[in-house]
A = this chain, B = another copy of it.
Amino acid sequence: MNDRVREILSWYASENPGVRTNLARMLNHGRLGGTGKMVILPVDQGFEHGPARSFAPNPAGYDPRYHFQLAIEAGCNAYAAPLGFLEAGVSDYCGDIPLILKCNNHDLLNDERDPISAVTSGVSDALRLGCVAVGFTIYPGSAERTEMYQQLRELAEEAKAVGLAVVVWSYPRGSSLSKEGETAVDVVAYAAQIAAQLGADIIKTKLPGAKVELAEAQKVYQKYEIPISTLAERVHHVVQSSFDGRRIVIFSGGAAAEDEKFFEEVRAIRDGGGFGSIVGRNSFQRKKPDALKFLDTIMGIYEGSIQ
């Protein structure tokens, strides 16, 4: 491994060599291999939003094999999906790309104010399917979060013991938060801290907005003049809140926006010290050539070949 990867792995010195090996597999894979940056393709929208909303824009995506191909051809660091999508595609691509098994999922046929995902797969599935990591979503702010944290703790304990890395989607949601508060900078930073304290090896969270949600937090942001006016500053704050940058934090962009705006966000992640992006709908909902071009630009920005 090169020095940057060696440095990143040094932050995980308390993990066993199995976990660090699987982190290295992701960090060393694909076009960004060895840069310390990551772009991951996640495709759980079939479960989370329904099939038509996910795949009608690019019907090739109904086929579970498509996303393996896209992630491999684009040179992503890893591909993440729920049990069924991995089961139905993995055999043709064994060893071609690091896989993350998304172990809990939520559907929108019920849309509770305080959501909790169903645990839909686990460590034994990840092992039999050749994955490098398990993924798990928590919703800090949900009245159900105690249960979710405990489910994560059980999964993580079991996963790490067999050398699987633990990737946590930490997405603030729930009745205690305003809608805008779900992406408030203090809330996103808090959600990243919680994931890190729960033992996450890699943290995925939303891009933080300029709002500060919690009154007690607001006093602190003002008193200490924490810089949060630009997106890069807010990214920096979230990374700092993830053990002063000693945990890999990557960001999701949300629904499809104008490409140039998306690239601006990627630059902010890069400038703020973020470790990369998780790009789902923005990539698999366009035709493959377009998606490859889109991902190529993102990776170029992270790599430094594109400004």
A residues whose Cβ falls under 8 Å from a Cβ of B: 11, 13-15, 46-47, 49-53, 56-57, 59, 62-64, 82-88, 90-92, 105, 107-111, 116-122, 124-125, 128-129, 140-143, 145-147, 149-150, 153, 157, 161, 172, 174, 176-177, 186-187, 189-194, 196-200, 214, 216-217, 220-221, 223-224, 226, 237, 240-241, 243-244, 246-247
Beyond the given A52-B186, A53-B220, A83-B198, please list 9 additional residue pairs across the A-B interface where CB-CB is below 8 A.
Answer: A50-B217, A51-B189, A56-B224, A85-B197, A109-B145, A109-B191, A118-B149, A120-B197, A124-B161
Nearest chain-B residue to A219 (Cβ)?
A: B53
Offer 12 A-B interface pairs, CB within 8 angstroms, sorted by A: A46-B197, A50-B217, A52-B217, A56-B220, A56-B226, A62-B244, A64-B246, A108-B216, A109-B177, A110-B176, A119-B153, A121-B153
Q: How far in angstroms is the closest Cβ of chain B from A165?
A: 13
Alpha-carbon gap, A121 to B50, bound state (A): 30
Note all chain B residues with C-beta closer than 8 A to A223. 56
- Which of B52, B85, B109, B216 contacts A220, CB < 8 Å? B52
- Which of B83, B109, B141, B221 contacts A190, CB < 8 Å? B109
